[in-house]
């Protein structure tokens, strides 16, 4: 059953008669819930609607500026922070370099400082926060768990750090899960009950959507495709300690490592030029490929073929209706996407690919921040979230 | 939100006060729903409970014999049929050889005949049916889709065949999905929100549980691990037309095919003896391995190592809290399970395996039939199912 507030938020129902019809709840129950939500200041009367006979019903709408949520998305070297309203719309955002190797306290103090600066001049109070981290996160506890690129972060109480300072609920998740939520709630995957977001950047990860919600698994570790073994005999050591992981032979860090040999190829003229001025980076490879450098293109399409092979398995396993490709490598070239698509179709079963769409993430670099905002909003406005708000209101009323 | 009937069926709530507390619905709504369910003959008053002050509340219970469901599970060469009550308990069942190559009409007429024979002497009417097929099934339409081992079945209207004859709703799914539902609802995976059932028999397949429900994907094709590529350079041709599929190098059919070479090994004494009397079958290999035949054991543990490698990927991807192993190869030996476990642990990430259980299916050969019964019962007693029953009752009352 869908909640009354979900129907209003999604725009599926705007008036009480519509709410009764779509929620399948009794009329008096809908009236009761609407009054409670009005009491919490979460919904208000909007415009008069056309009458279908009797008194014209009023539309109901979410009071999107009743509260704020903080959002943060942390990459290995980049921080994005934002402040959003209860519709998940970013009202302000900012990005700046960080270094996860500084450890949790210094890094999270930066996050906190930047968020409070952004939110300082906004009127309503902060109701919740969502934060994405570049490593495995145990969803229940909000703590990173043995994260390979975050030295000093293992088991650090990220949730506690912020609840203590903000006095509101905080949800911590893996960065790629946040990106998946961003595309699901505000991007190209809206309305897809079965979808997968795949980030091919320095590392490789995915976020899985099942029945319209993120599939986190038992501990919150689901979606980790970067460490699937694709080349068991490979000598490429992965940051996880194994050999031949997908990430170790097709991710951005591997491509940068492969530049040493690639640059000895006399065909790599643009690539050599760009690397000489800009340094050896993923962006240099992408730029050279866009200029038509054959060696750079081959580096990228080789990656696409390997990633596509794993995505074919994922299609057989999960039968999504959409795969959204993000990350700087994934979004590099039309040919990257075309090569991925070919590899997926070659190894997947016909029923699973009958209406499969493989598209590039339109939200791009913002997907994670948008997803962090929606993660907080969706939890705050869930049935459990509303019950929590009512309890809080009752305490304030009594106190 | 959990429905009132679900709370009663699961035993979570037995009295109206308990239902109010656990459903978070208003008192009058619970009363209204209970009356409707009583009107449908689905629940009845049970024993008086202890009073906690006022009038002693009566317990409410499902009328499990209000209706019957038919269940059928079809393998390549074996048919199981059963009749169950609304608690999903099998009241009668039967198995017999079939040959899917006879095509849909002849095979399904056998299924229909055997079911009506079994159900003939039972009093209540048949409310619904669940049927599992050994190939991909499009869940929405109830039709097989390009099934590799079911010649003549592609697109056949299996649901229509039975609704026409029985006049009740029918749900068709892949056989391994049915087994997963069986273990989830009545077997070892009860209470696991994230689980995977893996069948290693002649073929290899899986059923995925996400948030306590089967993950079917966009078309119903999810769970197909048998055609994941594990040996791209292999010359073993799979029945799907590709090379190097998991099933083609580790399934029962492959093991039987490998007997030719295995039997030339002078160490294969028991294996040779058993094959000479019983023929070259999976069961012969399993039996020889249980007698300690080193060659048979190696055939099976090689399969376990390859299957385990794929399950490690599945653990990284889905982070289940339990993997249930079924099928004649999967359930063959303790060493099969031990080898699987080792292979999973070697390649999975620490967070995903922290509390992972890998167990053998306790329901065994009956898992699919039990799952087919529960698939029908759960759909019949879902909110949509109850709405359908009420509509039907209203029509009967008006007519």
Six-digit token string for A366:
């913002």
The reply to whether residue A312 touches residue B229, judged by beta carbons under 8 angstroms, is yes
Mean pLDDT of A26-52: 83
- The pTM assigned to this predicted structure is 0.92
**Residue A359 banded pLDDT, cuts 50, 70, 90:** very high
CATH annotation of A191-362: 3.30.420.40
Interface test with B, best of A3, A176, A307, A316 (most B CBs within 10 A): A316
Q: What is the ipTM, given to two decimal places?
A: 0.89
In angstroms, the separation between the Cα of residue B14 and the nearest Cα of chain A is 21
Q: What is the pLDDT of residues B78-131, one digit of tens each?
A: 999 999 999 999 999 999 999 999 999 999 999 999 999 998 888 789 999 999
Average pLDDT score, chain B: 92
The reply to whether residue A221 touches residue B349, judged by beta carbons under 8 angstroms, is yes
Q: Which CATH class is domain A68-181+366-398?
A: alpha beta
Q: What is the pLDDT of residues A44-54, one digit of tens each?
A: 988 766 666 67
Q: Where in chain A is the domain with CATH 3.30.420.40?
A: 68-181+366-398, 191-362
Q: Is the pLDDT of residue A1 over 60?
A: no
Q: Is the pLDDT of residue A58 over 80?
A: no
User: Cα angle vertex B76, ends B72, B81, to 5°?
Assistant: 15
Task: Name the residue of chain A whose CA is nearest to B321's CA.
Answer: A218
Q: Where in chain B is the domain with CATH 3.30.420.40?
A: 68-181+366-398, 190-362
Which pLDDT score, from 0 to 100, does residue B263 have? 94
**Residue A26 banded pLDDT, cuts 50, 70, 90:** confident
Of A215, A225, A351, the CB nearest to B219: A351
Chain B residues with CB under 8 Å of A218 CB are 193-194, 319-321, 352, 355-356
Chain B residues with CB under 8 Å of A242 CB are 347
Q: What architecture is domain B190-362?
A: 2-Layer Sandwich (3.30)
Q: Where in chain A is the domain with CATH 1.10.10?
A: 4-62
In angstroms, the separation between the Cα of residue B214 and the nearest Cα of chain A is 10
**Residue B51 banded pLDDT, cuts 50, 70, 90:** low
* Residue B220 CB contacts under 8 Å (≥ 6 apart), including other chains: A319, A351, B136, B137, B138, B139, B140, B173, B174
Q: What architecture is domain B4-62?
A: Orthogonal Bundle (1.10)
Chain A residues with CB under 8 Å of B141 CB are none
């Amino acid at each position: 059953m869908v909640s009354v507030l979900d129907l209003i938020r999604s725009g599926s129902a705007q008036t009480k008669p519509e709410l009764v019809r779509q929620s399948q709840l009794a009329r008096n129950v809908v009236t009761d819930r609407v009054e409670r939500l009005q009491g919490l200041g979460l919904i208000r009367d909007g415009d008069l609607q056309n009458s279908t006979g009797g008194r014209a019903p009023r539309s109901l709408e979410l009071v999107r500026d009743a509260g704020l949520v903080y959002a943060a998305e942390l990459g290995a070297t980049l921080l994005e922070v934002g402040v959003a309203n209860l519709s998940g719309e970013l009202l302000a955002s900012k990005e700046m370099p960080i270094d996860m190797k500084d450890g949790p306290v210094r890094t999270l103090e930066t996050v906190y400082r930047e968020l409070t600066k952004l939110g300082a001049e906004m009127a309503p109070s902060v109701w919740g926060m969502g934060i994405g981290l570049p490593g495995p996160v145990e969803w229940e506890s909000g703590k990173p768990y043995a994260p390979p690129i975050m030295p000093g972060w293992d088991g650090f109480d990220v949730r506690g750090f912020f609840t203590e300072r903000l006095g509101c609920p905080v949800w911590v998740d893996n960065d790629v899960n946040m990106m998946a939520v961003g595309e699901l709630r505000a991007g190209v995957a809206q309305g897809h009950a079965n979808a997968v977001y795949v980030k091919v950047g320095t590392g490789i990860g995915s976020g899985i959507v099942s029945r319209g919600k993120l599939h986190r698994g038992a501990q919150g570790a689901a979606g980790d495709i970067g460490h699937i073994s694709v080349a068991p005999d490979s000598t490429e050591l992965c940051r996880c300690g194994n050999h031949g992981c997908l990430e170790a032979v097709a991710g951005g860090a591997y491509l940068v490592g492969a530049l040493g040999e690639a640059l000895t190829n006399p065909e790599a003229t643009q690539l050599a030029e760009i690397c000489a001025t800009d340094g050896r980076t993923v962006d240099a490879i992408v730029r050279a490929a866009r200029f038509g450098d054959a060696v750079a293109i081959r580096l990228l399409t080789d990656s696409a073929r390997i990633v596509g092979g794993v995505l074919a398995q994922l299609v057989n396993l999960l039968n999504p209706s959409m795969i959204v490709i993000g990350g700087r490598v994934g979004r590099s070239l039309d040919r990257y996407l075309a090569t991925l698509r070919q590899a997926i179709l070659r190894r997947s079963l016909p029923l699973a690919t009958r209406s499969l769409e493989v598209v590039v993430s339109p939200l791009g670099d913002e997907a994670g921040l948008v997803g962090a905002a929606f993660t907080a909003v969706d939890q705050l406005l869930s049935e459990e979230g509303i019950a929590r708000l009512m309890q809080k209101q009752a305490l304030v009323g009594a106190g």
